[in-house]
């Protein structure tokens, strides 16, 4: 039993959860009575591309043409794209981004949970680890996506917009993230778990891992049974999604 599991028992807690370990850490936790779960996210992997065009060259011709068309149409209404980080993250920028978040969150998620002070706080404490991809039209911010910059990975999180334009979501959230990762020689972009539409933009399904120590025997048996079936479904889903990858077949 791991130390965390022992502390769980001694403190009468119900469970311990380890999220996003590496695969080897996940397997090790399985030898310490943790229940093993898999899930999937969509990741773009940098194969040493020197430019966005070099990335496009690795795609099938039809996919390459589609992405070029989407990028052109996204910016057609006179929209410009800006990367903001560090001292660029002023309170007026956060005001605009919070408006995007509230508008899109209210329509899509039902109840936005982040507050305006939250953005000021991260802007003060980790501004050099934040990338805002912001879209501007007629001198006004109209959309943006927040990303967090790791040592090797760009972590894409939420986006919002107060104007709706075709393909702007793809440009701000996915294509600009790829472009930034290439320019800064990052190994990957993690774009989260939702959205099969990411596959056509070069984000492939990737297995993620978590481990769960549950004290109650009855609950543990039920969860273990569920996870066994879920792991099989996740593996099948990832294999199926991978067939839709936009890269050229060798």
Residue 239 pLDDT greater than 70, yes or no? yes
Q: Would you say 204 and 42 are in contact if contact means Cβ atoms under 8 Å apart?
A: yes
pLDDT score recorded for residue 125 = 97
Model pLDDT for residues 9-50, shown as the tens digit of each residue:
889 899 999 999 999 999 999 999 999 999 999 999 999 999
pLDDT score recorded for residue 6 = 85
pLDDT score recorded for residue 110 = 66
Residue 109 pLDDT greater than 70, yes or no? no
Complete domains list, the chain, with CATH: 3-42+205-242 (no CATH), 47-186 (3.40.630.30)
pLDDT score recorded for residue 245 = 92
pTM: 0.90
Pairing between strand 153-161 and 188-190? parallel
pLDDT score recorded for residue 120 = 97
The residue assigned the tokens 């919002």 is 160
pLDDT score recorded for residue 43 = 96
Mean pLDDT across 141-166: 95
Model pLDDT for residues 171-222, shown as the tens digit of each residue:
999 999 999 999 999 999 999 877 789 999 999 999 999 999 999 999 999 9
% the chain with pLDDT above 90: 85
**What is the rounded CA–CA span in Å between residue 215 and residue 236?**
30
Alpha helices for 127-204 (secondary structure H) = 168-170, 176-183
pLDDT score recorded for residue 215 = 93
Beta carbons within 10 angstroms of residue 227's beta carbon? 17
pLDDT score recorded for residue 193 = 77
pLDDT score recorded for residue 105 = 66
């Amino acid at each position: 039993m791991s130390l965390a599991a022992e502390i769980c028992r001694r403190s009468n807690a119900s469970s311990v959860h380890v999220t996003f370990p590496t695969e080897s850490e996940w397997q090790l936790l399985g030898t310490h009575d943790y229940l093993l779960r898999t899930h999937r996210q969509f990741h773009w992997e940098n194969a040493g591309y020197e430019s966005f065009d070099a990335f496009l060259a690795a795609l099938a011709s039809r996919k390459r043409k589609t992405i070029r068309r989407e990028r052109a149409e996204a910016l057609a209404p006179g929209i410009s794209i800006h990367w903001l980080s560090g001292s660029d993250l002023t309170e007026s920028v956060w005001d605009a981004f919070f408006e995007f978040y509230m508008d899109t969150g209210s329509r899509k998620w039902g109840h936005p949970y982040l507050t305006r002070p939250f953005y000021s706080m991260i802007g003060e404490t980790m501004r050099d680890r934040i990338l805002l991809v912001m879209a501007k039209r007629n001198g006004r911010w109209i959309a943006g996506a927040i990303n967090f910059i790791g040592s090797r990975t760009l972590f894409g999180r939420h986006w919002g917009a107060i104007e709706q334009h075709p393909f702007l979501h793809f440009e701000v959230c996915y294509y600009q993230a790829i472009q930034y990762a290439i320019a800064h020689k990052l190994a990957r972009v993690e774009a989260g778990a939702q959205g099969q539409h990411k596959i056509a933009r070069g984000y492939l399904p990737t297995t993620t891992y978590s481990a769960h120590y549950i004290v109650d025997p009855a609950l543990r048996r039920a969860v273990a049974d569920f996870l066994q079936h879920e792991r099989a479904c996740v593996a099948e889903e990832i294999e199926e999604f991978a067939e839709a990858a936009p890269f050229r077949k060798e």
